């Protein structure tokens, strides 16, 4: 018995160390390296033989001062804030009323709406921009008035307008999810009380509904703001000459080879993300404090007038989403927009396009998404398990908990960029860098995505594990069953729905993300999203759209499979 206990502890320590090492190498070390680089710069010295040698030297906050005094760079910061604010406010208005429609009315086709509302999540952000070109670009359907059928209008897509519309599609699903949850958390009894007191509909809305979702709105605001602020795909495609910070980093590094300013911009890009991250933590705490275990969900009554009104509102959103996806698909199979509208699938072969790599980027992305989902799910679940189900070992638990939250505040670009520095170092602490061997391989892409989407997965796993009664573990412990047996026979099977959800989240996110991988791919591992950027850069927009469509379809298929598996699981459970 005693020996057994020791052995268990040994295994626990081992698992803790693995997880801690993973988070240190994946999050902490690269971040520290990035911060250091932002305080350095190169000075070029010309040697006697005329050869320039670059000496890296400490410059303190000089890079930051340069940043603020550089009109163009500082302008980007202002632009990024403006775009993020406008987009988030506009979207919150839409997602609030659609969440209301789903949670507070009895409109028809709710489940259909719910599915379509989530569709934008499956696409890379470049997709919205690329598809918008065919609606509002110079040769777009609306700009040309359906090719001369009616008077057209030009919204000057390339610039803030294009970015804002694209980002609105991008952040609509996540803000909607937050608000749906928030609406669901309002206690039904509050409405019953308001009814009993004879309060008017409008008054109830302002005194019950709005205060009830107040924290949800704030959370949604922070989430939306951060996503837009740090997004790279949409402004890259439709930004035109309108500079934003995320694109600045890319331009500085790729175009001007200025890694130090790149690091500086990364740090500045982190600030609003960090602020909103901490603000959100505060809000979340307040929200959960207001929730009582006895809260009962609200069941709306049928009211045809109101229900049809919200049906109309939701339909507008659905039409917008579906028409964007359809135009994207249509443009990808048209031969030569706007001069030859005959249809064929030649754009799906990717032969005469930038890179001419055929479908290999798509297969790379599939592999990347699978590996990320597999290893990401395993590691995030195990670390959540260790943190929730271990007694003692406080130091491990604390450090893992803290490190696990950081990735949520890290934009993908910052992760990718910090990896360039860290994994390219020939030495760390004076010894050969053992991690540099993964630079340029699939492994570094997998690791960057595992970290990029880690926090949400970790939290999902943690929530599921917390709902699982601790009794299981204490009973098996007292029976002398080692914890890994309980883990395998009880914990994992019970948490399987959450595990599948995490897997699906990792997979879809890795398929669609571009920001973390843009700095890390090598020609052999080039992912589909990077090839989309390259094709768009070269002006091959139709094939770029075709690649987007492949990603969207893959994600939808995976989603359907996971839904089927979840359903089967539920049925099994109902039988037992």
Partner 1 sequence: MLRKVIAAGMVCSSLFLASCGNETETASSNDALKNQRITVYTALEDDEIAIYMKDFKAKYPSIEVDLVRDSTGIITSKLLAEKNNPKADVIWGVAATSLLVCDQNGMLEGYSPKAISTIKPEFKDTLNSDPHWVGIKAWMTGFVCNKIECQKGNIPYPKSYKDLLKPVYKGQLIMPNPASSGTGFLTVSAILQNMGEKAGWAFLDKLHNNILRYTHSGSKPAKLAGKGECSVGISFGYRGCKQKKKGEPVKTYFPAEKSGWDVEANGLIKKSSINPAAKTFLDWAISTDAMNMYAKVYPIVATGEQVPVPDEDYPKNPSLQLAKNDFQWAAKNRSRILKEWARRYDGKSDPK
Residues that bind partner 1 (CB under 8 A): 51-54, 71-73, 75-76, 79, 133, 137-139, 156, 158-160, 240-243, 251, 253-257, 259, 336-340, 352, 354-357, 370-371, 374-375, 378, 420, 424, 426, 436, 440, 492-493, 496, 522-523, 534, 537-541, 565, 568-569, 572
Closer Cβ to partner 1, 6 or 342, answer by number:
342
* Shortest distance in whole angstroms from residue 409 CB to partner 1: 26
In the bound state with partner 1, the residue whose beta carbon lies nearer, of 138 and 391, is 138
C-beta closer to partner 1: residue 326 or 522: 522
How far apart (Å, rounded) are the C-alpha atoms in residues 102 and 180? 8
| Residue 289 Cα distances to 80, 185, 284, 293, angstroms | 34, 12, 8, 11
Per the listing, tokens 């980093």 go with: 249
List beta partners, residue 58.
40
Backbone angles phi, psi at 60, to 5 degrees: 65, -140
Eight-class DSSP state of 491: I
Closer CB to partner 1, 342 or 478, in the complex: 342
Q: Which is nearer to partner 1, 76 or 266 (CB)?
A: 76
Pairing mode, strands 52-58 and 431-432: unpaired
CA dist 334 and 324 (Å) reads 15
Q: Is 482 helix (H, G, I), strand (E, B) or coil?
A: coil
Can you tell me the distance from the alpha carbon of 444 to that of 399, in angstroms, rounded to the nearest whole number? Answer: 23
Smallest gap from residue 555 Cβ to partner 1 (A) = 19
In the complex with partner 1, the residue whose CB is nearer, 310 or 381, is: 381
**428 SS3 class:** strand
Closer residue to partner 1, CB minimum distance, 220 or 442: 442
C-alpha to C-alpha distance for 154 and 97, rounded to whole angstroms: 29
- To partner 1, the closest distance from the beta carbon of 256 in angstroms equals 5
Q: State in angstroms the smallest separation of the CB of 72 from partner 1.
A: 4
Q: Shortest gap between Cβ of 164 and partner 1 (angstroms)?
A: 12
Minimum distance, C-beta of residue 413 to partner 1, in the bound complex (Å): 15
Helix or strand or coil: residue 210?
Answer: helix
Query: Least Å distance between CB 141 and partner 1?
Result: 14
Nearest to 168 by CA among 132, 211, 208, 212: 132
Q: How far is the CB of 385 from partner 1 (least distance, A)?
A: 15
What end-to-end distance do the CA atoms of the chain give, in Å? 34
Q: How far apart are CA 82 and CA 480, in angstroms?
A: 60
Cα torsion 204, 206, 209, 212: sign = negative
Q: Which is nearer to partner 1, 313 or 359 (CB)?
A: 359
Q: How far is the CB of 347 from partner 1 (least distance, A)?
A: 13
Q: From residue 548, give the alpha-carbon distance in Å to each of 215, 258, 311, 368.
A: 35, 30, 30, 16
> For residues 99 and 331, which CB has a smaller minimum distance to partner 1 in the complex?
331
Q: Which of 422, 442, 444 is nearest to 433 (CA)?
A: 422
């Amino acid at each position: 018995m005693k020996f057994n206990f020791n052995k268990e502890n040994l295994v626990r320590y081992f698992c803790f160390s693995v997880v801690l090492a993973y988070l240190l190498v994946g999050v902490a070390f690269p971040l520290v390296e990035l911060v250091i680089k932002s305080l350095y710069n190169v000075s070029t010295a010309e040697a006697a033989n005329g050869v320039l040698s670059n000496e890296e030297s400490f410059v303190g906050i000089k890079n930051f001062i340069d940043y603020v005094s550089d009109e163009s760079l500082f302008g980007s910061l202002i632009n990024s804030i403006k775009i993020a604010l406008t987009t988030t406010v506009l979207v919150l208005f839409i997602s609030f009323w659609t969440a209301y429609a789903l949670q507070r009315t009895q409109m028809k086709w709710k489940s259909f709406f719910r599915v379509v509302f989530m569709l934008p999540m499956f696409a890379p952000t470049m997709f919205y921009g690329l598809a918008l070109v065919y609606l509002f670009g110079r040769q777009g359907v609306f700009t040309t008035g359906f090719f001369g059928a009616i008077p057209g209008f030009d919204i000057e897509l390339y610039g803030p307008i294009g970015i804002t519309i694209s980002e609105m599609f991008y952040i609509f699903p996540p803000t909607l999810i937050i608000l749906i949850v928030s609406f669901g958390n309002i206690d039904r009894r509050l409405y019953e009380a308001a009814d009993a007191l004879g309060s008017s509909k409008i008054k109830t809305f302002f005194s019950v509904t709005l205060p009830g979702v107040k924290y949800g709105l704030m959370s949604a605001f922070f989430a939306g703001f951060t996503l837009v602020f740090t997004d790279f795909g949409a402004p890259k495609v439709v930004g035109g000459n309108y500079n934003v910070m995320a694109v600045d980093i890319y331009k500085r590094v790729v175009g001007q080879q200025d890694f130090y300013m790149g690091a500086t911009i990364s740090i500045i890009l982190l600030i609003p993300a960090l602020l909103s991250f901490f603000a959100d933590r505060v809000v979340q705490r307040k929200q959960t404090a207001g929730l009582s275990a006895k809260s009962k969900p609200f069941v709306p009554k049928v009211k045809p007038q109101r229900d049809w009104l919200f049906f109309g509102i939701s339909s507008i959103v659905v039409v917008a989403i579906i028409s964007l996806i359809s135009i994207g698909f249509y443009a990808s199979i048209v031969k030569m927009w706007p001069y030859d509208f005959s249809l064929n699938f030649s754009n799906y072969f990717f032969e005469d396009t930038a890179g001419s790599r055929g479908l290999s980027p798509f297969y790379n992305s599939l592999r990347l998404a699978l590996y990320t989902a597999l290893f990401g799910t395993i590691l995030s679940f195990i670390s959540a398990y260790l943190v929730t189900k271990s007694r003692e070992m406080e130091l491990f638990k604390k450090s893992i908990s803290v490190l696990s939250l950081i990735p949520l505040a890290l934009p993908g670009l910052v992760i990718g960029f910090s990896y360039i520095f860290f994994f390219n170092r020939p030495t760390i602490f004076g010894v050969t860098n053992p991690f540099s061997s993964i630079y340029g391989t699939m492994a570094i892409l997998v690791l960057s995505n595992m970290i990029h989407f880690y926090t949400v997965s970790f939290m999902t796993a943690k929530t599921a594990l917390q709902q699982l009664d601790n009794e299981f573990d204490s009973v098996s412990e007292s029976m002398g069953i080692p914890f890994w047996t309980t883990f395998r026979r009880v914990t994992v099977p019970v948490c399987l729905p959450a595990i599948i959800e995490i897997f699906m989240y990792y997979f879809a996110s890795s398929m669609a993300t571009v920001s973390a991988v843009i700095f890390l791919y090598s020609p052999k591992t080039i992912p589909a999203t990077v090839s989309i950027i390259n094709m768009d850069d070269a002006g091959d927009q139709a094939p770029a759209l075709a690649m987007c469509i492949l990603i969207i379809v893959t994600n939808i298929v995976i989603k359907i499979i996971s839904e089927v598996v979840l359903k089967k699981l539920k049925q099994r459970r109902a039988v037992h």
